[in-house]
Structure formats: structure tokens, C-alpha cells
Chain A
Amino acid sequence: MSGKYRRNNNKGTGKKILILIFVLISLFCIIFFAARGRFKVPVAQQVVSVVLTPFQGAISWVGSQLNYVTSNIWELATMHEQNKMLRNEVEQLRIQNLHASEYDAENQRLRALLGYKQTATQFDLVAARVIGRESATWSSVIEINRGTRDGVDVDMAVVTEKGLVGHVIEAGPTSAKVQLLLDPRSSVGTLVQRADSRVAGIVEGDMDNPTMPRMVNIPKTSDVDEGDVVVTSGFGGIYPKGLNVGTVAEMRNDEGGLLKIAVLEPAVDFQKLEDVMVITASREAPPEPLKTPMQTPGTETDPAAQAAEQAAAANGDADSSSDSSSSSSSDGSADSGEGSAQ
């Protein structure tokens, strides 16, 4: 009896292990297909996102309230000391304020003199709050409380006032997932902002140092120094040109020895990411009006003058008696055209 039971039990365990091996092999295949973008579950992602977003929103709100309360309690505890420091600070600030008023007046004058205008806003932005952050060791993804209903869509760049955060990888109706610059799967086309360098490279997340991305594919002889500011190049179509990515903190040699790697201090503090902005549309800055280039004397060409010359020639055919006068008038119009061009 017990032998039969044991046989049945062994048979059950063997079946379980077979099922487990089948599941593990299936998952193994899914991992590799999904990593190469050949397997996606968009419907399941939408459903999970819709179910989880209210919970994440509520708990995030509770967290922010707790944070607010604890910071208030801490402030109360340190109020006396703070009071002393603030009195000193007020004295110093009064003095500084006088200087600042002077600088303000000077600044206004200089602005008026230079005809300085605020740069036209190039981007349509949607403000969003971070409601979730995946603490996975291998990837860096945040969840924001704006989705397709607010105009947010996949592959839109996400920024703060300090610089680039990442881009949207999934967009649900009320929330979206943003792959941070720090994610090892992320790659951003960039270039060094310094005018005499302009070296292009790709910024990607670094698994060895999850808080500092790195700029790769830099030729060994290229001019990149520590402290250089790195901005987006605009290649690739996701990130608009000119967004601040970070500052070069360290230069290293690539393992192959032919290239260099720049370790970047990101412009954005990813540990304190609370509010972000999604770029829903971006426009290039209006181009400068075209100016006619300087022309070598004696070889000037001017479309208006040439048209006038042709019209004069046509008139000359009609009225053949005034050949010399028409040629002199075309010379005169060419002269006037050059003048206006200049």
C-alpha cells in the first residue's frame, strides 16, 4: 500500500518538475525574444497599468504627506537653532539686497542696451508628477501620472528645468513609463557643447555605476575634457537638440584601447526626481533671415537686374531704333540691383 503511495507521489513530483522545466524554458525564450523587441504584451501592460495606477497614486500621496509631516516635525525640533541662524542670515541678506538692487538696475539697463529678448519657447510641455519608481537593480524606469489622455505618447522626451531625464517607453491612458537616462538600455545621441570640440558620442546607462551614465564611442584623439557640458545632438528623432545631459566628470580608456569613455555627472538629480515635463511637441528655432553674400566686383549677378535686362531686350526687338539706349538702361538697372543687394 505504502509502496503504491510512494510510486504515485514520485510520479506527481516528476510531473511537477517537468512542468517547472517547461515553464522555465518558456520564460527563458521570452526573456531573449523580449530583450530583442520581438515579443511584447501591450494589452497586458495597459491592463496592469490601469489597475496599479490608482494604488500607486494613493500610496504616493500618502508618502508625500508623510514626508511633509516628518520634515515639519524635524523643522520644529531644530527651530531654535534655525532661528539664530536665520537672524544672522537676515542681516547678511539685507546687505546683499542693497547690492542686488544695484545689480538689478544695472542688469535692466544692459538688457535694454543689448536688445536682449527671451528665447522663444521651442517646446510644448506637459507637467507630470512621478508616482512610481522601479527599484530594480538592472533597469531605471519611473512612472508618471500623465498618459495618452494628456497627449503623452511613446518616444517623447522627458525633461526637468535642469536637463534631460529620459523618454517615454509605454503610455497608458492615465500614466506612462519613462526610461531614465541611467537605464543600460537607453542610448542618447549627444555631443560636447564646447564650440571648439563638438565631439559626438552616445550616452548610455552604466551597470557598474547606476548613478552616472557614460558617453561612449569617443575617438581617442578627440578633444573632450573633464568639465565639458554634454547636450543632445538631435540625431535619432526622439530627443530634441540642445537638451543638457550632464558634465564630463572623468575620462577613461575603452577596454579595446582605440576609444575613450566619458563618465558623466548627470544634469538632473535622479534621486530627487519628483516633477518632470514631457515634451509633446518641439519646433526648431526660426532660422535667421537670409542675407545676400558679398559679390566680387565686376561679376555681380542679380535676379531683378537680369529680369529687367531681358525685358529691355524684348522691348529692343519691338522697337529696333533704340539699341544703344536699351543697353545703357540695363547697365543702369544692374548697377542699382547691386546697390540694393549690398
Chain B
Amino acid sequence: MKNAGATALLVIILYALQTSILPLIAYHGVTADLMLLFVTSTAFLKGARVGALSGFAVGVLQDIASGTFLGVNAFTRVLIGFCVGKFSDQVFKEQVFLPVFASLLVTTVNYFILALLMILLGYRFNLMGHMQYTLLPMLIYQLAFAYPVHHLAYELDKRYGKKA
């Protein structure tokens, strides 16, 4: 229970940071996606089931709070949480660099799933130009913020995970 409360608080603070402070350092309106980083780290630390659940919860929160296309973030984050969690069973969880660099791959996959959804919804855009404008800066931001977010998720897991 304590673990769930602490996790919820961390998610809310990360979301508030993402929407209030990070826009100050945004490049063309693009900043780091802290929620995606959090889902990736949680999936690495806790496995597929918790990864998919946290992906769903975080995605729904982000969809409802941000006013974006309802369901898109929940969709991508469930999928990513599950896949990363499945992969995490085969790696050593204490190491740090894999989740950090995996965030790049996860961000790219997330981008392409969202792009596909947008095309299915009927929006047309130049993929190469859009990638240059949004994906590349976002990857740089993700690389910069991946370690701090992973560290927070790791500390939270260490403190409350074993008790729960």
C-alpha cells in the first residue's frame, strides 16, 4: 500500500515536472518524456506484469491530464511496459546503463507506434521532417533524463519493493 502511494506520488511529481519545468528548456516545444522513462525503468526492475500495469496507469493519467488523443499513451505504454518487462527477465537488474540506453530504443519505438496511430486516425505528415523536428531532440532529452528517472525508480523499488 505504501509502495503504491509512493509510486503514485512520484508519478504525479514527474508529470508536474514534465509539464511545468521542462517546457522552460524545450526545443521547438519538445522535451523529455519522463513518464515513458519511468515506465521503462519500472518494467526493467519489476518485470512484464508490473511493467504493463504501470504503463497502463501512467498512460491513462497522461491521456486524461494532457487533453491529447485519449488512449494513445495508454496503448503505447502498456505495450512497451510489457515488452521491456519480458526482456528484463533475461538481464541483470542491478546494472544501470542498459535501462538508460534502452530508453533511446523505447522512445523510438513509442514514436513510431504513435506515428502509425496518427496515420490510422487520418492525419498526414512528412515523416522524415517530423522526425528531424521532434524525435531527434527528444532522444537527446531522453538520454539526459534517463539516469535520474531510473535512479528514482530504483531507489523507490529498493525502499518499498522488498517490504511489499
Nearest CB of chain A from residue B89's CB, rounded to whole Å: 11
Chain A residue nearest in CB terms to B15: A52
Q: Pick from A37-45, A157-165, A326-334 the stretch touching chain B.
A: A37-45
0 or 1 for each of A115-131: is its CB under 8 Å from B? (1 = yes):
00000000000000001
Interface centre among B56, B64, B78, B124 (most CB of A within 10 A): B64
A270-B19 Cα distance, complex, nearest whole Å: 15
Q: Which residues from 116 to 141 on chain B have a C-beta closer than 8 Å to any C-beta of chain A? A: 117-118, 120-121, 123-126, 129-130, 133-135, 138
Nearest CB of chain A from residue B57's CB, rounded to whole Å: 12
Contacts of B32 in A (CB 8 A): 135
Contacts of B111 in A (CB 8 A): 137
- Interface residue? A220 (CB, 8 A): no
Known: A31-B71, A55-B12, A140-B29. A134 touches B114 (CB 8 A): no
Whether B69 contacts A271 by the Cβ 8 Å rule is no
Known: A67-B24, A208-B125. A48 touches B64 (CB 8 A): yes
A116-B129 Cα distance, complex, nearest whole Å: 50
Contacts of B16 in A (CB 8 A): 52, 55-56, 58-59, 132
Known: A23-B56, A24-B75, A208-B125. A31 touches B66 (CB 8 A): no
Whether A135 contacts B64 by the Cβ 8 Å rule is no
A52-B118 Cα distance, complex, nearest whole Å: 27
Known: A55-B13, A63-B21. A207 touches B118 (CB 8 A): yes
- Interface residue? B18 (CB, 8 A): yes
Whether A141 contacts B12 by the Cβ 8 Å rule is no
Whether A132 contacts B75 by the Cβ 8 Å rule is no
Contacts of B120 in A (CB 8 A): 32
Whether A62 contacts B69 by the Cβ 8 Å rule is no
A267-B154 Cα distance, complex, nearest whole Å: 45
Whether A31 contacts B29 by the Cβ 8 Å rule is no
Chain A residue nearest in CB terms to B128: A208
Interface centre among A137, A177, A210 (most CB of B within 10 A): A137
Known: A52-B12, A143-B19. A270 touches B29 (CB 8 A): yes
A230-B63 Cα distance, complex, nearest whole Å: 33
Whether A56 contacts B67 by the Cβ 8 Å rule is no
**In-complex Cβ contact of B19 among A135, A139, A170 (8 A):** A135
Chain A residue nearest in CB terms to B79: A24
Interface size class of A (residues with CB under 8 A): 35 or more
Interface size class of B (residues with CB under 8 A): 35 or more
A169-B68 Cα distance, complex, nearest whole Å: 11
A52-B15 Cα distance, complex, nearest whole Å: 8
- Interface residue? B39 (CB, 8 A): no
Nearest CB of chain B from residue A70's CB, rounded to whole Å: 10
Contacts of A27 in B (CB 8 A): 71, 74-75, 78
Whether A24 contacts B29 by the Cβ 8 Å rule is no
0 or 1 for each of B8-52: is its CB under 8 Å from A? (1 = yes):
000011011111111110101111110000000000000011001
Contacts of B23 in A (CB 8 A): 133, 135
Nearest CB of chain B from residue A176's CB, rounded to whole Å: 10
Contacts of B138 in A (CB 8 A): 137
Contacts of A23 in B (CB 8 A): 52, 56, 78
- Interface residue? A209 (CB, 8 A): yes
Contacts of B64 in A (CB 8 A): 41, 44-45, 48
Nearest CB of chain A from residue B83's CB, rounded to whole Å: 10
- Interface residue? A49 (CB, 8 A): yes
Whether A31 contacts B117 by the Cβ 8 Å rule is yes
Whether A62 contacts B75 by the Cβ 8 Å rule is no
Q: Pull 11 A–B residue pairs with CB atoms less than 8 Å apart, ordered by A.
A: A20-B82, A23-B56, A30-B71, A32-B121, A34-B69, A41-B70, A55-B13, A137-B130, A138-B69, A169-B67, A209-B129
A-B pairs, 5 with minimum CB distance: A34-B70, A207-B125, A132-B19, A55-B16, A31-B71
Given contacts A24-B79, A134-B68, 4 further A-B contacts (CB under 8 A): A59-B13, A138-B72, A141-B66, A209-B133
A-side residues, CB < 8 A to B, are 16, 20, 23-24, 27-28, 30-32, 34-35, 39-41, 44-45, 48-49, 51-52, 55-56, 58-60, 62-63, 66-67, 131-141, 143, 169-170, 177, 179, 182, 184, 206-211, 270-271
